[in-house]
Structure formats: C-alpha cells, structure tokens
Structure 1
Amino acid sequence: MVEKTDNAVSDAAGIAAAASHAAKKGPPPVDKWNPPFCGNLDMEIRADGSWFYNGTPIGRPEMVRLFASILKREGNDYFLVTPVEKVGIRVVDAPFVAVDADIGETIGFTTNVGDRVTAGPEHAIELRGSAEKPRPYVHVRRGLWALIDRKTFYRLADAAMPGKSGRMEVQSGGTVFPLEP
C-alpha cells in the first residue's frame, strides 16, 4: 500500500468536482495523467462493490460512477486521479462487480458502475481461487477487474460447453475462456 505523505489530502468533494469537470470532455484519460501523489483518502471499495468514504457508504450512484471513472491502478495500489492530483484509496478485492451478462455469440458484461464490456482479447474472463472456491473476474479497463457475481457466473456455467481439454468453457470475441481451474 502507498504510504501517506505530509501533503494535505483533498476531500472527496474536491476530487469529485475535478473529475466532473474533466469528464465533460468525454471519458477521463486517467492513463495519461500523472499528477503528484497527495496522500491517501479514507475511501474503500469493499468486496461486494460498495464504496465507502470515512466509513460511510456513498449512497449516490452518480457519485460512485464518477469516482469509478477516475480510478487508476498502479501495481497493487489504487488511486483516484485528476489532472492535478492523485490520492490513494483501498480496494478489498476487485474495484467492480459484474452484475449481469448478455450471453450469446459474444458475452457482454454490465458492472455495478454501469461499465459495459464484451469478453474477448481486451476483456478476458479469468478464474482465480481454487477448484472448491473459484472466483471469476472479467477485465474492465486499464488493469481494473470486476468480480463476476454468483448469479451471472451460474448463467455462464449453464452456457458453457466442454472444450478440447475436457474443461467447461465459454467463447466470446474469438477467445475461449475456461470456467474451471
């Protein structure tokens, strides 16, 4: 985890205002922004995808989506980034949860923050954990992953077919994804 610096850490409202201003020009290019680190913010994304600030749930979905749009991962650390500042936050598991999927010729996932991605080379489905407790994820963007919720994973498993290796798998975007370790 990133160490806190002596610099004053901006509050969530200031970060949100800067992000909102930047977002008016389209999706924020956080991968191009490299502002100075300003310290850690008492913000956490829990394993169920809920966002907390100062120990209190962030109840406004628009605010969560705004923060999600400026989320950046560097190694194992997560940051909210604007053109002028970068603050560290805690992520318990994955920053997002895939809460639904359209399963057909391709598999399109929808996350708890409204991102939509189609599984394929750019958006891999990955199984972590063990055979007894598999944890399925889908890559959303720039090293940020979504845990696939249980109901959606069961729907994927129902659509899976045996592959050449004998493992159950799904296909999307010309890519094969095993659903077994």
Structure 2
Amino acid sequence: MDLTSLQQQLQQPKLAPVEQWDPPFCGDLPLRIDSQGRWWYQDGEITRPGLIKLFASVLIRQGDDYFLQTPAEKVRIQVEDAPFIAVSSDWQAGPTGPELWLTTNLQDKVPVCADYPLLLQQHGGQQLPYLMLWRGLSARLHRNLYYQLLDQAQLQQDGAGSRAVLYSGGQPYLLASSDELPG
C-alpha cells in the first residue's frame, strides 16, 4: 500500500456495519432531513453535530426509504432530498492522476471515484449533481460548490450539445449537460 492510499483510507469516515444487522422494524420516527441537510426531530432542529453524526453513522437507504438501523431496531425517517450536502472540494495527487475530494456538511471527506461517483439526478424539475455514497446514500452538491466545479470542468461538445466534465483519478464525471449549463 502506498502513502497516498493510506492517507485516503484515513480520511474516509468509519462506518458501522449496518448492512450486517437484521433488526425488527419498529415503525416511523418523527425525524427528518430537509433539503438543506438539516436534521429535525418533530419541529425542532437538531443542532448538536455529535448527535447528527451518531444518527448518520447508522443511516441506510433501502429502495426509496431511509432508516436508522442498529443491531436492536430499525426505524424509518424522512429525507426530503439527499441526506448530506457536499460543501467543499480539494484536489489531491492520486496514482492515476489528480483526484477530486468532496467534503460533506458532516465533515466526511470522500474521493470522486468508481466507488463514489458523481451522477446527475432529477430533482425539482432539474438535473442536479449528487455524490453517490455508501449504503445507498448520497450528497447533493451545494450550489456554491457546483459553480466552483463548473469553472474547473472541461467543456466538451457532442451530438447532443455541450457537457461539463470533471476528471478525477483519470475517470470522467458528468457535472452538467447543455440543458443545465448556466448561460
């Protein structure tokens, strides 16, 4: 293992083995994550970062539903869009070229790579970029980050129009197509 691989492993979040647990479903919990990545219990916002990180460590998506899953119980929660927001980026040297690393609103640092690709998904009538994460979860790119990355993307032409493409670790990731590119 080279130094770059070791550094990347140390930066990635430690995940609970949620997929290995098979607890009984215990119903719905009045917990929701709004479209800005804020966590709410009933009508009160949860503002303690440690509590949010604890909940996020056992969050899993199955189909269209989101659950907090522990060895003892599984409860469904509501997620308006993506449970996380990618808020900043930096480039690091990688074995196959520069790698784009995104930081979420929970301070998790994740490389854009085959395991965690950037994908365009439909939301609110628009194609928006999301970073695919572990356990079916995703992080929507914050608008400021999206525009910063658009400035760094390569504009490519094809039969369907223009595309903004980022290369991370030598692999292309579509950030926007001509329909979504700002004028």
Alpha-carbon distance between aligned partners in 2 of 1:123 and 1:173, rounded to the nearest angstrom: 12
Contact 1:52 1:58 (8 Å CA) reproduced: yes
4+ long deviations beyond 2 Å: 162-166
Contact 1:30 1:82 (8 Å CA) reproduced: yes
Alpha-carbon distance between aligned partners in 2 of 1:168 and 1:98, rounded to the nearest angstrom: 18
State how 1:32-181 maps to structure 2 within 5 Å: 32-103=20-91, 105-129=98-122, 133-163=126-156, 165=158, 166-181=162-177
Query: In the TM superposition, what is the alpha-carbon distance from 1:128 to its structure 2 partner?
Result: 2.2
Alpha-carbon distance between aligned partners in 2 of 1:133 and 1:164, rounded to the nearest angstrom: 21
Percent sequence identity over aligned pairs = 41
Give the structure with the higher percent strand.
2
Contact 2:129 2:176 (8 Å CA) reproduced: no
Letter in 1 for 2:141: I
Aligned pair count reads 155
Alpha-carbon distance between aligned partners in 2 of 1:174 and 1:33, rounded to the nearest angstrom: 36
Task: Extract unaligned runs of 5+ from structure 1.
Answer: 1-25
Query: In the TM superposition, what is the alpha-carbon distance from 1:142 to its structure 2 partner?
Result: 1.7
Residue 138 to residue 121, structure 1, CA distance change in 2 (3 Å): same
What whole-Å deviation, never above 9, does each CA across 1:15-59 have from its counterpart, x for those lacking one?
Answer: xxxxxxxxxxx6310111110000010000000000001111001
Task: Extract unaligned runs of 5+ from structure 2.
Answer: 1-13, 93-97, 178-183
Alpha-carbon distance between aligned partners in 2 of 1:163 and 1:30, rounded to the nearest angstrom: 40
Alpha-carbon distance between aligned partners in 2 of 1:87 and 1:125, rounded to the nearest angstrom: 28
- TM-score, scaled to structure 2: 0.79
Contact 1:48 1:97 (8 Å CA) reproduced: yes
- TM-score, scaled to structure 1: 0.80
Aligned-CA RMSD value: 1.7
